[in-house]
């Protein structure tokens, strides 16, 4: 037998090292270490440097246009590891990652230090659920799966978050079915890969009239479509506050009977001095019956001043702890974990009935289907006669407006865009409502082109559309092809797989111009936590009427 090469031995040592941490499991409403059955509490810190911010006059916290993946920056990770060890954290939360980069060195170092990862799957610009016009689409599912695949072999992944502060008001609770569908599909994918990673969501701390129903909605019905862990971003314990006047008692009361693990996915009010005395409450006897720890915000400086724990030198070579760091370190050092209840006494997780819609909570209990790449590609490749061929690489800037124009034109002629519309309040989802915005736009352009007798002028859209000469020869052929795709594809809920390597023909077969319909994946982290996705579905919902799949023809 041939001896192992030095490289192979290093690979084996790497795998052994990464798989050295205990698996964290859920029992009842608590987290436990798999080895000894002790309760696990998240004692973490938010760990991501802010990317370049865009400009938005309407938003004091504009969204970033890029991001820095801290888990792919090995030198900076090594720079920060001593500080993370000094803090005594057992978890870091990272808001955006780049699946195309290598994370081995940093993740191994964190694993060796006993530090778990909480990874948000979304990215700014195009890669997140949009709170104003929510949709659960193929481009988002594919992005989430790509990011999961980049971390599947690491044992210290504690959880993947499917969203962060997507809902911030009662009106935005229409997004809840899309969050829940994302959790359902990501859980199914992880289980198909034998992953033990938990699936979570981080909520803004809003009024209990909708915050409570949202939390309950995301953990209702069954294990298959519920979160594994729910996080709350909470900053109400400031400066010299005490447990009794902090608002924490009301939170404990509100979540006393919550059915899944619950933790602060962010805490640390930036009112000086940041004493972090809330740590004693979070990990103390008043709260550990309900809470499973928390994540302090944040290691790096954000746009809003006063949140950073370290100061990074101009050349990036050093990270110097500040007084906030020292205060947090002292508080974390005094934490002792309460092991009550034991894992054997925690019971099984129950899943109550879902809350019904009301004036403060608008979400339907009917969830959108699993996004289907194959169906979208099949319909696009076989039935589109007029396709999106943008005159710019910045499709994000035009695609929403173009869908609005196309659907508005259809509405003016008595037709509709119901096939590509989705409503989280009524629970109605069109046959192509889960396709990426580029595919949806090509559908609307094709519908208008066919409705107008294939008049070449109706497939222009200011030069952003092109007649697909390789497409169907007639409206009847287009309808037959689309129906064939629908008949052959799985519908409803199913276990998703990695995206097909063959993209749909949404950038004309007859044009030299091509475009990524999902937009750029080079995005970033922002304290506002709501990256702006393509706004395509906004106008779709507005102009949609009732109708069949191809009634426009």
Beta carbons of 232 and 265 less than 8 angstroms apart: yes
Q: Is 165 labeled as catalytic in the residue annotation? A: yes
In whole angstroms, give the CA distance from residue 399 to residue 270. 38
Nearest to 81 by CA among 297, 307, 310: 310
Buried b (16+ CB within 10 A) or exposed e, 509-545: eebeeebbbbbbbebbbbbbbbbbbbbbbbbbbebbe
Which residues does 60 contact at the CB level (< 8 Å), separation at least 6? Answer: none
Residue 188: CB atoms within 10 A of its CB come to 17
Residue 393's SS3 state is coil
Give the alpha-carbon dihedral of 182, 183, 188, 191, to 10 degrees: 140
Spot the catalytic one: 50, 172, 266, 479.
Answer: 266
Q: Alpha carbon of 168 to those of 340, 417, 462: distances in Å?
A: 34, 28, 36
In whole angstroms, give the CA distance from residue 249 to residue 287. 8
Spot the catalytic one: 49, 63, 165, 431.
Answer: 165
In whole angstroms, give the CA distance from residue 151 to residue 72. 12
Nearest to 151 by CA among 126, 120, 127, 125: 120
Beta carbons of 414 and 448 less than 8 angstroms apart: no
Nearest to 386 by CA among 481, 497, 472: 472
- Cis preceding linkage at 186, omega within 30: no
Q: What is the DSSP string of 38-52?
A: -B--EEEEE------
In whole angstroms, give the CA distance from residue 516 to residue 518. 5
3-state SS of 518-551 is CCCCCCCCCCCCCCCCCCHHHHHHHHCCCCCCCC
Question: In degrees, to the nearest 5, what angle opens at C-alpha 34 toward C-alphas 339 and 102?
Answer: 120
Residue 36: CB atoms within 10 A of its CB come to 9
Q: Is 431 labeled as catalytic in the residue annotation? A: no
DSSP strands (E only) in 276-353: 293-296, 310-312, 319-321
Residue 407, H or E segment: helix 399-412
Could you tell me the two tokens for 263? Answer: 């933790």
User: Pairing state of beta strands 91-94 and 310-312?
Assistant: unpaired
Residue 92, H or E segment: strand 91-94
Could you tell me the two tokens for 240? Answer: 């010299």
Residue 86's SS3 state is helix
**Active-site residue list:** 165, 266
């Amino acid at each position: 037998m041939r001896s192992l090469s030095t490289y192979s031995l290093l690979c084996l040592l790497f795998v052994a090292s990464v798989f050295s941490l205990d698996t964290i499991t859920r029992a009842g409403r608590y987290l436990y270490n798999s080895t000894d059955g002790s309760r696990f509490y998240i004692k973490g810190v938010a760990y991501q440097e802010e990317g370049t911010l865009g400009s938005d006059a309407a938003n004091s916290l504009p969204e970033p246009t890029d991001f820095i993946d801290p888990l792919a920056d090995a030198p900076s990770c090594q720079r920060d590891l001593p500080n993370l060890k000094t803090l005594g954290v057992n978890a870091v939360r990272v808001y955006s990652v780049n699946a195309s980069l290598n994370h081995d060195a940093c993740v191994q170092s964190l694993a060796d230090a006993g530090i778990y990862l909480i990874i948000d799957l979304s990215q700014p610009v195009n890669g997140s659920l949009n709170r104003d016009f929510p949709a659960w689409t193929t481009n988002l599912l594919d992005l989430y799966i790509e990011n999961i695949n980049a971390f599947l072999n690491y044992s210290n992944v504690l959880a993947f978050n499917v969203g962060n502060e997507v809902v911030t008001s009662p009106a935005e609770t229409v997004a809840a079915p899309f969050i829940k569908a994302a959790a359902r599909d990501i859980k199914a994918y992880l289980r198909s890969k034998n992953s033990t990673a938990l699936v979570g969501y981080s909520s803004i701390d809003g009024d209990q009239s909708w915050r409570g129903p949202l939390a309950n909605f995301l953990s209702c019905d069954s294990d298959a479509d519920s979160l594994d862990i729910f996080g709350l971003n909470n900053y109400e314990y400031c400066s010299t506050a005490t447990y009794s006047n902090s608002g924490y008692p009301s939170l404990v009361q509100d979540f006393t009977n919550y059915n899944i693990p619950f933790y602060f996915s962010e805490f640390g009010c930036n009112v000086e001095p940041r004493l972090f005395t809330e740590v004693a409450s979070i990990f103390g006897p008043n709260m550990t019956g309900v809470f499973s720890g928390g994540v302090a915000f944040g290691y790096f400086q954000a746009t809003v001043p006063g949140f950073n724990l370290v100061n990074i030198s101009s050349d990036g070579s050093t990270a110097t702890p500040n007084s906030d760091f020292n205060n947090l370190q002292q508080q974390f050092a005094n934490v002792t974990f309460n092991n009550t209840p034991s894992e054997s006494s925690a019971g099984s997780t129950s899943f109550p009935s879902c809350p019904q819609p009301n004036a403060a909570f608008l979400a339907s209990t009917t969830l959108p289907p699993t996004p289907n790449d194959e169906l979208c590609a099949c319909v696009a490749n076989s039935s589109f006669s007029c396709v999106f061929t943008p005159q710019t690489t910045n499709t994000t800037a035009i695609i929403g407006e173009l869908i609005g124009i196309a659907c508005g034109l259809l509405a003016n002629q008595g037709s509709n865009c119901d096939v590509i519309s989705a409503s989280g309040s009524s629970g109605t989802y069109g046959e192509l409502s889960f396709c990426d915005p580029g595919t949806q736009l090509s559908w609307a352009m094709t519908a208008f082109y066919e409705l107008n007798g294939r008049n070449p002028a109706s497939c222009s859209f200011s030069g952003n559309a092109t007649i697909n000469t390789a497409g169907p020869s007639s409206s009847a052929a287009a309808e037959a092809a689309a129906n064939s795709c629908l008949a052959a594809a799985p519908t409803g809920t199913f276990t998703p797989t990695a995206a097909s390597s063959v993209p749909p023909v949404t950038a004309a077969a007859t044009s030299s111009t091509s475009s990524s319909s999902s937009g750029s994946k080079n995005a970033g982290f922002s304290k506002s936590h709501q990256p702006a996705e393509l706004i395509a579905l906004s106008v779709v919902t507005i102009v949609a009427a009732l109708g069949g799949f191809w009634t426009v023809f």
